Structure 1
Amino acid sequence: MLAALAGLAGCGARPDVRPLPEPAGAQPVSLATPTSGEPSCATGLRFISGYTDAAMGLRVMSVEVVNCGTQPVELNGYPQVKLLDEHWQPLAVEIINGSGGIAVVGGFDDAPQPIVVQPGESAKSAFMWRNTYTSDEPPQVGSHVDIAAAPGGAVQSLLPVSPQRDIHIDLGSTGRMGVRAWYR
């Protein structure tokens, strides 16, 4: 074994190192986009999904917006979100500003505050939902998310953290997802 490692070191080969998950038990979320590679920054913003923390049926997924443009961007409110199925069709789900009573999570129901995101900086939000079944309705599973920074803003597909994983926004039969206001 030591000889094999020494051989690799001598050849200049380096094993891939994967980053550790953020919170304990977190899993990266893959919300595949129809394009490959890094999205363009034509709109001046890039959206990135974070890790989903899942406990007792509650899911919380972080979302980040990066100002990749050249001008400051002011955010004051909630991201505009549309949840789509595996065929890119909108799901009939309720998107709620704040937690909407789904669960009590610190900061999730904080009122929106105006923030200015300078070029190269970012702001955060989060999605919250429960994977529970409360009726005989079929499960609601989102495979893609369209997102805009504000009403009337340019809509983009959410970029996944890790395209190697296949995890969806699994709302069960609840049909509800909360969205946190933008924050630093």
Structure 2
Amino acid sequence: MIAKRWVRGVVGGAVAAGVLAAAAGCETPPAPKAAPGPTGAPRQTPAPSRSPSPAATAPEPAPEPCPEGGVRLVEGSGDAVMGLRLEGYRLVNCGTDAYVLEGYPQVRLLDKQDQLLEVTVGHGSAPITSEVPAVDAPPERVTLAPGQTASMALLWRDRITDVSVPPVEGWVLEVTPKPGAPRLGLRLTRPVDLGNTGRLGVGPWRR
């Protein structure tokens, strides 16, 4: 009797162990862990590029107003040989009407302090030098339509004849184009350096 009970106990335990093992084999395995993400910094999305704003356009300078009388005096080109100076100046009709010139302009010089200089002004090249066509041409009538230009020439020598007399330099040219017209002033970039000769030759208006 004892042997039979022991056999049944062994068999029953084996069966129970088999059932538990089968039950354990039927359990659903756990889901795998997710793979770790990249360890670097998160990727930045580039910001949309902005087109450069257009550069601010510098305002154009306002045009110089036309002087009273409707004409403007402009410094021209010059020539210098052995102390002899020849400078050209232009008169521009910046008005709206025709401008008539005839003969010689009236000319005077001022220094850097705008003080009037004592200068002997004559028509033509004598007695400064021999004949110069730009200065010794005969006067003629010149009519300037709006925008047109006439010219005149000045002639002088830069020479020191007396060391006791200080040299003269004109830095402002004042011109009366014709009798009764307003006087025009022009600050020069090149002086009228007369030395101490004190003489200035003026040519007529030319087209």
User: What's the TM-score bracket when you normalise by the shorter of the two chains?
Assistant: 0.7 to 0.9
1:21-32 to 2 correspondences below 5 Å = none
Q: Which residue of 2 aligns with 1:70?
A: 96
CA distance in 1, matches of 2:118, 2:126: 17
CA distance in 2, matches of 1:167, 1:158: 11
Contact 1:48 1:159 in 2 (8 A): no
Q: Which residue of 2 aligns with 1:169?
A: 192
Q: Does 1:148 align with 2:176?
A: yes
State the SS of the aligned residue for 1:168.
strand
Contact 1:84 1:90 in 2 (8 A): yes
Structure 1 unaligned runs (5+)?
A: 1-36, 161-165
CA distance in 2, matches of 1:159, 1:148: 15
Change in Cα spacing, 1:81 to 1:132, as seen in structure 2 (3 Å) is same
State the SS of the aligned residue for 1:132.
coil
Q: Does 1:180 align with 2:203?
A: yes
Q: Which residue of 2 aligns with 1:10?
A: none
CA distance in 1, matches of 2:134, 2:67: 29
CA distance in 1, matches of 2:159, 2:73: 27
CA distance in 2, matches of 1:64, 1:146: 13
Q: Does 1:96 align with 2:122?
A: yes
Which structure has the highest helix share of the two?
2
CA distance in 1, matches of 2:170, 2:193: 6
TM-score by length of 2: 0.65
Change in Cα spacing, 1:159 to 1:72, as seen in structure 2 (3 Å) is farther
Deviation, structure 1 residue 117: 0.9
Q: Which residue of 2 aligns with 1:117?
A: 144
Q: Does 1:126 align with 2:153?
A: yes
- The code of the aligned residue for 1:61 comes to E
Contact 1:48 1:65 in 2 (8 A): yes
C-alpha offsets along residues 66-121 of structure 1, whole Å, 9 cap, x if unaligned?
A: 11111111111111111001110110111111112212212421221111111110
C-alpha offsets along residues 25-53 of structure 1, whole Å, 9 cap, x if unaligned?
A: xxxxxxxxxxxx83533320001011221
1:21-60 to 2 correspondences below 5 Å = 38=64, 40-60=66-86
- The code of the aligned residue for 2:139 comes to P
Contact 1:77 1:182 in 2 (8 A): yes
CA distance in 2, matches of 1:54, 1:132: 12
Deviation, structure 1 residue 159: 5.6
CA distance in 2, matches of 1:61, 1:93: 17
For the aligned residues, what is the CA RMSD? Answer: 1.8
Over the matched positions of the two proteins, sequence identity in percent amounts to 40
State the SS of the aligned residue for 1:108.
helix
TM-score by length of 1: 0.72
Deviation, structure 1 residue 138: 1.4
Moved over 6 A (4+): none
State how many pairs are aligned.
144
Q: Which residue of 1 aligns with 2:135?
A: 108
Q: Does 1:135 align with 2:162?
A: yes
C-alpha offsets along residues 144-177 of structure 1, whole Å, 9 cap, x if unaligned?
A: 11112112210111265xxxxx531100010011
Question: Does 1 or 2 have the higher relative contact order (CA < 8 Å, sep 6+)?
Answer: 1
